[in-house]
């Protein structure tokens, strides 16, 4: 998919459920994973900001 459609995939994902939270606050482990996911997303966005191409598929 990455090569065919020029997709960039953030390899860090967070899967969490209500078991991972207490009173609406996520556990420390989930919070760390969420932080890493956001950091990588921002890094990817910055790296792709000035790319010379665009796609009709972008959202």
Q: Which of 57, 39, 52, 49 is nearest to 2 (CA)?
A: 57
Q: Tell me how far CA of residue 58 lies from CA of 2, 6, 53, in angstroms.
A: 14, 10, 11
Instruction: Please state the φ and ψ torsions of residue 9, each to the nearest 5 degrees.
Output: -115, 125
Q: Report pLDDT digits (tens) over 2-29.
A: 566 667 788 888 999 888 899 989 999 9
- pLDDT-derived band of residue 32, with 50, 70 and 90 as boundaries? very high
The full set of domain ranges for the chain reads 9-48
pTM: 0.69
């Amino acid at each position: 998919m990455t090569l065919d459609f020029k997709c960039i995939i953030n390899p860090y994902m967070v899967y969490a459920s209500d078991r991972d939270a207490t009173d609406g606050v996520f556990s420390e482990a989930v919070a760390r994973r969420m932080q890493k996911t956001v950091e990588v997303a921002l890094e990817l966005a910055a790296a792709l900001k000035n790319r010379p191409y665009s796609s009709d598929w972008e959202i």
